[in-house]
């Protein structure tokens, strides 16, 4: 279950943020799928958690948006993480009109539980 945080500049249009909100669950799921956590293309509540926040008055960023993804570490994910993030970047470029953005993929050793 990836956690995704999108930090965006004030000039990013709402339509772009809406497109990101629509596209990110599927595209992030593709980017982090692995044998240990396969993606069945049937997202359920809690499968991908996304939070959006505008840059604050003291934040500094040279990008229109930074997308931070945290997903549990598995060797099969970690071994090609740069390829995964590069493919996700290309897919988001194609699916949205976001132009100047970065993606940070973190794979911590973690555990997750949620109500059924």
Q: Which residues pair with 70 in a beta bridge?
A: 3, 106
pLDDT of residue 10: 95
pLDDT of residue 105: 97
Is 50 contained in some domain?
yes
Is 65 contained in some domain?
yes
Domain enclosing residue 85, as ranges:
3-106
User: 101: exposed, middle or buried (C-beta count within 10 Å: 0-12, 13-18, 19+)?
Assistant: buried
pLDDT of residue 111: 84
pLDDT of residue 100: 95
Residues 2, 103: Cα–Cα separation, whole Å: 13
Is 115 contained in some domain?
no
Is 79 contained in some domain?
yes
- Tens of pLDDT along 87-104? 999 999 999 989 899 999
> What is the pTM for the complete model shown?
0.92
- Cite the beta strand spans of 1-116 per DSSP E: 3-8, 49-54, 65-70, 101-106
pLDDT < 50: residue spans in the chain:
none
CA atoms within 13 A on the CB side of 45: 3
Is 112 contained in some domain?
no
pLDDT of residue 61: 93
CATH classification at residue 82: 3.30.429.10
Is 63 contained in some domain?
yes
- CA dist 97 → 18, 70, 83 (Å): 11, 24, 22
Q: Total structural domains in the chain? A: 1
Q: In what order do the strands lie in the sheet with 3-8?
A: 49-54, 3-8, 65-70, 101-106
């Amino acid at each position: 279950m990836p956690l995704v945080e999108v930090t965006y500049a004030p000039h990013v249009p709402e339509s772009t943020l809406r497109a990101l909100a629509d596209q990110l669950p599927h595209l992030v799921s593709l980017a982090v799928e692995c044998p240990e956590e396969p993606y069945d293309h049937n997202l359920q509540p809690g499968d991908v958690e996304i939070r959006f926040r505008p840059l604050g008055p003291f934040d500094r960023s040279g990008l229109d948006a930074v997308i931070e993804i945290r997903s549990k570490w598995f060797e099969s994910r970690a071994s090609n993480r740069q390829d995964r993030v590069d493919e996700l970047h290309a897919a988001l470029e194609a699916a949205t009109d976001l132009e100047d953005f970065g993606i940070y993929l973190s794979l911590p050793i973690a555990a997750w539980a949620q109500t059924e």
